[in-house]
Amino acid sequence: MSHPDEGLIHAWLDGELDAEEAARVERLVAEDAAWAAAAAEARGLIAASARILSHLDSVPGDVLPKDSRSGGGVAGVAATPVTRGASKGFTVQPWMRLAAGFVLVAGVGYVAKGALAGPQDAPIVAAEESAVAMSAPETTGPSADRAVADVAAPTPVATGKVGARVDAPAASQAVAAKATAPSVAQAEVATGTVAKSLDSIAARERSLAEASAVQANATQSAERLALSSAVITAAPAAPEARREAMRAVGGAATSGLSMRSSMAALADASTRLAGCWQTTGATASDSLLVNPLVLRSAGDTLVIAISAKPDSALVRVQSSTTYSGTVIDANGRRVAFSMTRVVCPARP
């Protein structure tokens, strides 16, 4: 009896061994009890790993915008394992560079528009994107090559979504200049789903910025602003901003999400909860809750944000001054929770 090589067994089960080595492992598994047991365990671990990781898939389908699903390719790809060794290279055509420039300009334009609308919170975009946007009219020339020279794979530089603030008038000028280019319409069509998805990012940033501005007016609590974009979108005084932000949070494929929530119900619930509440039972929550944010509302059942973690609670009316229910804490556990109206303490 030999000691089984677990790495070798996993490689065998993953189909990574050549024919000769695979045959050797197969013989060992067939003839040696220890190897057989190890192979059985490995099979179980592979299955368990796949199952555990599947819990992390919040949105397994509807990944792409609806328009791009019409071709049927997306569903097929989503359901079919990726073919090994797919290595067809492709060469970027000049129009593709132009298209990339265009979608970035469009994104910056969206954000710049939001900046003009909301003076307190100028949208923030990556410095790299704004640089590309400014050079967009020259995207087919040498300047465009220089502008993108820093993105060669496989060691890209992350841009993130934080960076230099966009000068809105300048960005608008870039958009205007781009609009006069003869190939823009062609480029927009050619980029197809990529452009749509990038637009959704720009729209999301714009709507989140708008929601942030509204929220700043609606509550004086800085902690509330730190909760998350999902919480921010609960601001009842800004239906349009909230709808946009909710769509963004839910992803491009969940555009119907806003229809599920009643703005009037949220506003009513927020009014009912205005004031100070003494909370008990949730270790992660503050003992005093001021003007709780309502995430969802259905009659007397509310989902509210209760801390800056952020945690949320499902509560029901017990009396006009008491609500009780459960909390989904940071670990996804349920904890009993109640809140009772109290007189707000005087500010020092």
Partner 1 sequence: MDQAERLFREYHPTLVRYLTRRLGDRDWAEEIAQETFVRALRQETIVNERSWVFAVAHNLVRDGARRDARNRRHLELLAAEERDAHVPDVESTLEAAQERARERGAARKALDALSEKDRQALLLKEEGLDYGEIAAILEIEKSSVGTTLSRARKRLAEAYEAQQDQRRGGSHVAS
Interacting residues with partner 1 between 28 and 47 (CB under 8 A): 42, 44-46
116 makes contact with partner 1 (CB under 8 A): no
Smallest gap from residue 40 Cβ to partner 1 (A):
13
Output 193 or 221, the one with its CB closest to partner 1. Answer: 193
Which tokens go with 215? 């929220």
The answer to whether the beta carbons of residues 278 and 321 sit under 8 Å apart is no
Output 7 or 119, the one with its CB closest to partner 1. Answer: 7
Closest CA relative to residue 107, chosen from 115, 97, 117, 119: 115
Smallest gap from residue 258 Cβ to partner 1 (A):
10
3-state SS, residue 301: strand
Give phi and psi for 222, each to the nearest 5: -65, -30
333 makes contact with partner 1 (CB under 8 A): yes
Residue of the chain from 194, 267, 276, 290 that contacts partner 1 (CB under 8 A): 194
272 makes contact with partner 1 (CB under 8 A): no
Output 156 or 345, the one with its CB closest to partner 1. Answer: 156
CA–centroid distance for 138 within its chain: 32
86 makes contact with partner 1 (CB under 8 A): yes
240-251 b/e (C-beta count within 10 Å ≥ 16 → b): ebbbbbbbbbbb
Cα-based distances in Å from 45 to 6, 51, 245, 267:
11, 10, 40, 49
Which tokens go with 298? 């259905």
Binding mask 238-267 for partner 1 (x = CB under 8 A): --------x-xxxxx-x--x--xxx--x--
The answer to whether the beta carbons of residues 313 and 328 sit under 8 Å apart is yes
8 makes contact with partner 1 (CB under 8 A): yes
Residue of the chain from 19, 153, 222, 343 that contacts partner 1 (CB under 8 A): 153
Interacting residues with partner 1 between 132 and 151 (CB under 8 A): 148, 151
3-state SS, residue 240: helix
Binding mask 281-320 for partner 1 (x = CB under 8 A): --------------xxxx--x-x-----xxxx-x------
